[in-house]
């Protein structure tokens, strides 16, 4: 097959690797508009379960990536000055650029071409192709120009977030919530290499406006966030990488492609960063699309439909959980002041509706017991 992939993110790269490994005769080219060494953001995170999926589907890639990961066995919820460690939640992380660089090398060794700094603005620019994979992310022009064909819906959520890094190396995936005179500030932070962490700041829209971020310079915005999280940063700086305030778009497509086109990754659907599954979903898309072609041969329409059959049930569960998580964060100005640290940590863990009290007893018996005692006393 002549396969053309738009976007050299995890979904496009991994699909290319799987197809080329299966049949070296495939003619595969990936088009990436950015330079090889350019990326936005800092680190990405995987849950233990995400890594288990990778180990089960592709042990070679699992062994290739795992030496480069930072690992920790728990998460931490910080309610103002009270830290609540929560057991049973293993995670691993890696710098986004490091992950992409490893994947670039992995696919290139298989004979896949990656054409960096190549902007594709229309399907006609790709020439003749049996399959075009739209892996060009949340801002995909391919999806935007074909929304009617795809049945696209986009719901821009009101919370504001900005993706920073910091030289403070945190010991676990931590969600820090701090009350200020303008409202609650949340930091999603975790180490992705021994000397660096992701430090994503999220606020409700009203808090963002009260703080004056709308007219604040990038330098003053960093200084403001450093003051809010001074106790957590312990003198370390916040670092920007073209960081700016954004709103999260909840994207869904009823149809997953058209003609010889298939969408994958964030181009297909988005899942909020608060559940740490974006990279996992992208790579699982790649696996499912590969399996669909393995079953259906070179028939793109049949393979696309099989891809949807394989992916829709598990994908929708994660997508709906992510949307429930979004709504929980959109109420943090109400939740943080009204709850004790134990109640708040418990609410965080059960926010998506997928974790029951029995699950909590298994995951972290100490937190479940503390919550039971607190609620039985009231």
Q: Model confidence over 224-236: pLDDT tens digits?
A: 999 999 999 999 9
- Residue 14 clears pLDDT 80, i.e. is over it: yes
Q: Model confidence over 174-228: pLDDT tens digits?
A: 999 999 999 999 999 999 999 999 999 999 999 999 999 999 999 999 999 999 9
Residue 373 pLDDT class (50, 70, 90 cuts): very high
C-alpha dist (Å) from residue 348 to 8, 61, 79, 266, 345 = 34, 33, 11, 25, 5
352-376: average pLDDT: 93
Q: Are residues 48 and 144 in the same domain?
A: yes
**pLDDT over 90, % of the chain:** 86
Domain boundary among 246, 278, 294: 246
Q: How high is the pLDDT of residue 260? A: 97
Which pTM value belongs to this model?
0.94
Residue 43: beta bridge partners?
95
Q: Are residues 196 and 272 in the same domain?
A: no
Q: Which two tokens stand for residue 275?
A: 């559940």
Check which CATH number belongs to the domain holding 218 and give it: 3.30.9.20
Q: How high is the pLDDT of residue 91? A: 85
DSSP line for 267-319: GT----GGG--HHHHHHHHHHHHHHHHHHHTT-HHHHHHHHHHHHHHHHHHHH
- Residue 377 clears pLDDT 70, i.e. is over it: no
Q: Are residues 358 and 261 in the same domain?
A: no
Mean pLDDT (the chain, rounded) = 94
DSSP line for 120-170: --SGGGG-S-SEEEE---TT-HHHHTTHHHHTEEEEEEEEEEEEEEES---
Angle at 54 between CA 115 and CA 271, to 5 degrees: 75
Q: How high is the pLDDT of residue 209? A: 98
Q: Model confidence over 148-171: pLDDT tens digits?
A: 999 999 999 999 999 999 999 998
123-148: average pLDDT: 97
User: How far apart are the C-alpha atoms of 134 and 266, rounded to whole Å?
Assistant: 10
Q: Are residues 205 and 151 in the same domain?
A: no
Residues 6+ apart with CB under 8 A from 285: 11, 15, 264, 265, 268, 311, 315
- Residue 378 clears pLDDT 60, i.e. is over it: no
Q: What are the φ and ψ backbone dihedral angles of 166, each rounded to 5 degrees?
A: -155, 155
DSSP state of 76: E
Residue 53 pLDDT class (50, 70, 90 cuts): confident
Q: What domain range is 278 assigned to? A: 2-69+94-155+250-328
Residue 88 near residue 187, CB atoms below 8 Å: no
Q: Model confidence over 291-332: pLDDT tens digits?
A: 999 999 999 999 999 999 999 999 999 999 999 999 999 999
Residue whose entry in the numeric block shows the structure tokens 């738009």: 6
14-42: average pLDDT: 93
Domain boundary among 246, 276, 309: 246
Q: How high is the pLDDT of residue 323? A: 96
Domain boundary among 224, 246, 268: 246
Q: Are residues 113 and 44 in the same domain?
A: yes
Look at 43 and 6; give whichever has higher pLDDT.
6
Check which CATH number belongs to the domain holding 57 and give it: 3.50.50.60
Q: Model confidence over 261-289: pLDDT tens digits?
A: 999 999 999 999 998 778 889 999 999 99
Residue 362 pLDDT class (50, 70, 90 cuts): very high
Q: Are residues 220 and 172 in the same domain?
A: yes
DSSP state of 66: G
Residue 2 near residue 130, CB atoms below 8 Å: yes
Q: Are residues 24 and 101 in the same domain?
A: yes
In a domain, 170, yes or no: yes
Q: Are residues 240 and 271 in the same domain?
A: no
Q: Are residues 54 and 115 in the same domain?
A: yes
């Amino acid at each position: 097959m002549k396969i053309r992939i738009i976007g050299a993110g995890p979904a496009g790269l991994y699909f290319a690797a799987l197809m080329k490994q299966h049949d070296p005769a495939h003619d595969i080219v990936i088009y990436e508009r950015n330079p090889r060494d350019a990326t936005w953001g800092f680190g990405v995170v995987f849950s233990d379960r995400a890594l288990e999926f990778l180990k089960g589907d592709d042990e070679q890639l699992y062994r290739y990536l795992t030496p480069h990961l930072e690992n920790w066995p728990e998460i931490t919820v910080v309610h103002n000055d009270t830290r609540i460690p929560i057991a049973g939640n293993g995670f691993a992380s890696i710098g986004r650029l490091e992950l992409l660089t490893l994947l670039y090398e992995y696919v290139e060794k298989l004979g896949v071409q990656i054409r960096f700094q190549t902007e594709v603005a229309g399907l006609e620019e790709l020439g003749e192709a049996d399959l075009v994979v739209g892996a060009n992310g949340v801002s995909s022009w391919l999806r935007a120009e074909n929304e009617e064909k795809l049945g696209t819906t986009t719901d821009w959520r009101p919370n504001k977030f900005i993706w920073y890094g910091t030289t403070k190396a945190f010991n676990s995936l931590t969600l820090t919530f701090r009350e200020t005179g303008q409202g609650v500030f949340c930091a999603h932070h975790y180490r992705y290499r021994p000397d660096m962490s992701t430090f994503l700041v999220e606020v409700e829209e009203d808090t963002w406006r009260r703080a004056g971020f709308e007219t604040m310079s990038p330098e003053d915005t960093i200084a403001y966030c450093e003051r809010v999280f001074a106790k957590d940063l312990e003198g370390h700086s916040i670092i920007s990488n073209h960081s700016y305030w954004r709103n999260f778009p909840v994207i869904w497509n009823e149809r997953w492609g058209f003609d010889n086109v298939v969408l994958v990754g964030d181009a297909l659907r988005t899942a909020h960063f608060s559940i740490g599954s974006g990279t996992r979903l992208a790579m699982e898309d790649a696996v499912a699309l590969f399996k669909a072609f393995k079953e259906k041969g070179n028939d793109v329409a049949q393979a696309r439909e099989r891809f949807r059959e394989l992916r829709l049930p598990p994908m929708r569960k994660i997508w709906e959980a992510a949307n429930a998580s979004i709504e929980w964060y959109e109420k943090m100005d109400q939740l943080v002041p009204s709850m004790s640290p134990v109640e708040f940590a418990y609410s965080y863990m059960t926010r998506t509706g997928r974790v029951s009290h029995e699950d909590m007893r298994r995951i972290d018996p100490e937190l479940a017991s503390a919550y039971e005692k607190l609620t039985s006393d009231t």
